[in-house]
Amino acid sequence: MQAYRFITNDDTSEFCHRVTEALSKGWELHGDPQYSYDEKRGVMRCGQAVTKHSDETYSKDLKLGQL
């Protein structure tokens, strides 16, 4: 199965740590990072898609972050 996640967070080091953690667990970057300004909160938001091949069988109950 090909698993897909879209990691999001405010534009802080926490976002970079989340993406780095995913990469250290075998996830691969998929496309360019995305940025958007959240006017309501007054902060920049970041997003990065990642993918990973897995031998798991797909289920809606599957916890993607645990692959």
Residue 62 lies in a domain: no
Residue 66 lies in a domain: no
For residue 8, what are the domain limits? 2-56
Residue 22 lies in a domain: yes
Please name the helix (run of DSSP H) or strand (run of DSSP E) that holds residue 46, with its range, or none: strand 43-53
- Which amino acid is it at 58? Y
**Number of domains composing the chain:** 1
CA distances from 43 to 7, 32, 35, 38, 40 (A): 17, 20, 10, 5, 8
Q: pTM here?
A: 0.87
Bridge partner list, 65: none
Give exposure, 8-23, as e/b (b: 16+ Cβ within 10 Å): ebebeeebeebbeebe
Residue 65 lies in a domain: no
Residue 42 lies in a domain: yes
pLDDT digits (tens, 9 = 90+) for 4-57: 999 999 999 999 999 999 999 999 999 999 999 999 999 999 999 999 999 989
